Amino acid sequence: MKFWSLTKEGFLESCSAMSAMRSHTQNLREEMIRKLRSLFPGDLTVIQRSGRWRTRLRLRTRSCISVLVEKTVRPWKTAIRWQVDPVPAERRFVTLLVRRDIQNASVQDYYVVPKVDNRRFTLKLQDSWLERGECLSSLEDFGEVVKRVSVRAR
């Protein structure tokens, strides 16, 4: 009986931690979308279909943009990686890839990439995969960078 209760408690703690991480990710994502809307009020539209669909962005240029907020994982000892979980329905869109800091508490950096692969993968700090896109030095550069990356995506 003790084994079951310990396992059950450990399972519930694990579920609670995963739920908190998911909630934090959603909050960061929504905050990012609000910031972008305030920076580009006439050029950026938020597309929200129904409750089950993720919020997407669309620039006046008609480019659809996916927003992925990725968490830091430690595959071993001191190694740091970012786990990218693509959304299959959005993989062909230009993507704003938001990497969190080591504690997964706030944003470390932003990349705009032409599209994302259809499978889960991890990124290193200076990963060559990121070279297909551009790092945003500031969110104010978002519109121009998306236009440049969109041209490469075609």
Separation of alpha carbons 30 and 74, rounded Å: 25
Separation of alpha carbons 141 and 124, rounded Å: 24
The structure tokens listed for 125 are 């700090």
**pLDDT > 90: percent of the chain:** 45
Task: Quickly state the pLDDT bin for 153 (edges 50, 70, 90).
Answer: low
Picking from 121, 132, 126, the residue whose alpha carbon sits closest to that of residue 109 is 126
Q: What is the CATH number of domain 28-153?
A: 3.40.1350
Note the pLDDT of residue 117.
85
Q: Which residue has the tokens 């669909």?
A: 53
What does the pLDDT average to over 39-49? 87
Q: What is the reported pTM?
A: 0.83
User: Residues 6 or more apart from 115 whose CB is under 8 A from it?
Assistant: 91, 92, 93, 94, 95, 153
What does the pLDDT average to over 60-72? 88
Residue type (1 letter), 56: R
* 117-150 per-residue burial string, b: 16 or more CB within 10 A, e: under 16: eeeeeebeeeeebbeebbebeebebbbebbeebb
pLDDT digits (tens, 9 = 90+) for 89-111: 898 999 999 999 999 888 999 99
